[in-house]
Amino acid sequence: MTFPASQIALIVNGKIEGDAAVAVTSFGKIEEAQTGQLSFLANPKYEEYLYTTKASIIIINNGFELKQPVKATLIRVADAYTAFALLLAKYQEIMEQQLSGIQQPSYIAKTALYGQNIFIGAFSYVGENVKIGNNSKIFPNSYIGDDVSIGDSCIIHPGVKIYRHCRLGNHVTIHAGTVIGSDGFGFAPQADGSFKKVPQIGNVVIEDNVEIGANTTIDRATIGSTLIRSGVKLDNLIQIAHNVEIGKSTVIAAQTGVSGSTKIGNGVMIGGQVGIVGHIQIGDGAKINAQSGVSKSLGPGKAVTGSPAYDYTAALRSQALSRKLPDLEKRIKELEALVKQLISEKV
């Protein structure tokens, strides 16, 4: 597909500097892009490539001042990174719209209902009473259990497993290998030292505009729902336990684990490899640094780091002081020597 600068500028609400008729067919990094590709400059560290790149079109910020002539056609926008992301999304949407129909072999229960312009890839299983909305795409080797509901314009990538009774809103993307609705980790200790499984009869509810990375697992609730609110973005390899609630527009990086019944607020940012214990609350807007261990509730806007996690600013002060310890030790030894000298002179 070919996209002229004039069309791209309309999509990103940008202003063209150069040839509005020049066209591109693909994307490229500014340091590697070739003729016929579109790139962007958002990070000043890459400015040098702006003057040497072979890209045909480059998106840059409105306030960026050129230090020398540029061969490429420029499209100026308020935020180059956001505009480039928008173009990538549009391109992906166009490509996915070309997928439609039901590939064989696949199994679709007679009681399943699906809307217009859907795609179901080969070797997929769609169970009883499943509902799939318009324009949704289910890629090969996916499993959609009984009574699952999937909204409009969802993308279920290869090998995803969605267990019975789970609910997905609109514009939900789930990447390959993810499991939605597996049993929560519930076992009751017995007098003889064994553990008796507690049945997990709830489900998982995922609201609109959520994206879940590859090989992430979200457990069904023991009773009720494990709840992922609208706009949440989860990275790869994350474990969300039973009855967890994650608030709107929260983002969580890879290898994080959230234990059962913890409630995470809106707009929370959680780094990679964070561990969060169960039955606590994380307030709106909190920030948890990578590899932190959170063992108690956090208030709104709180920023923490470390294991056990504590105040981020205090942690930085502690780190600064710890770096000064060798000098402090030297000064203490010098003072001790001076004190001994003064005492010996008095004697």
pLDDT tens figures, 241-257 = 999 999 999 999 999 99
Last residue of a domain, one of 97, 125, 143: 97
Residue 129, pLDDT score: 98
pLDDT of residue 315: 77
Predicted local confidence at residue 247, as pLDDT: 98
Taking residues 164-174, report their average pLDDT: 98
pLDDT tens profile 269-293: 999 999 999 999 999 999 999 999 9
Distance CA 134, CA 5 (A): 31
What DSSP string runs through 240-280?
Answer: E-TT-EE-TT-EE-TT-EE-TT-EE-TT-EE-TT-EE-SS-
Task: Answer yes or no: do 189 and 229 share one domain.
Answer: yes
Number of domains in the chain: 3
Decide which of 90 and 269 is more confident.
Answer: 269
Q: What is the per-residue pLDDT for 347?
A: 64
Q: Do 336 and 243 lie in a common domain? A: no
Query: Coil, helix or strand for 297?
Result: coil
Specify the pLDDT at position 94.
Answer: 80
Cα angle value 216/219/221 (rounded, 5°): 155
pTM, to two decimals:
0.81
Residue 307: the pLDDT is: 86
Residues 92 and 108 reside in one and the same domain: no
Which residue reads 């540029």 in tokens?
70
Question: For residue 16, what is the domain's CATH number?
Answer: 3.40.1390.10
Same-domain pairing of 241 and 118: yes
Once rounded to an integer, what is the mean pLDDT over residues 171-178? Answer: 98
Residue 321 pLDDT class (50, 70, 90 cuts): confident
pLDDT at 98 over 80: no
Q: Check whether residue 284 and residue 339 sit in a common domain.
A: no
The verdict on 342 and 273 lying in the same domain is no
Q: Are residues 38 and 127 in the same domain?
A: no
Co-location of 265 and 145 in the same domain: yes
The CATH number assigned to the domain holding 213 equals 2.160.10.10
Whether the ω angle into residue 4 lies within 30 degrees of 0, i.e. cis, is no
Q: Going by C-beta distance under 8 Å and a sequence separation of 6 or more, which residues neighbour residue 67?
A: 47, 51
Would you say residue 233 has pLDDT above 70? yes
Tens of pLDDT, residue by residue over 119-140, are 999 999 999 999 999 999 999 9
* pLDDT tens profile 53-68: 999 999 999 999 999 9
Q: Which residues are catalytic?
A: 242
In this structure, the answer to whether residues 262 and 239 fall within a common structural domain is yes
88 and 109 co-located in one domain: no
Query: Whose structure tokens read 């002539």?
Result: 69
If asked whether residues 287 and 327 sit together in one domain, one would say no
Given a cut of 90, whether residue 316 has pLDDT beyond it is: no
CA angle 238, 258, 317 (to 5 degrees): 100
| Average pLDDT across the chain, whole number | 94
For residue 74, pLDDT beyond 90: yes
| Domain around 268 | 101-313
Query: What burial class does residue 338 get, using C-beta atoms within 10 Å of its C-beta: 0-12 exposed, 13-18 middle, 19+ buried?
Result: exposed
The mean pLDDT value for 209-230 works out to 98
Mark whether 84 and 232 lie in a shared domain: no
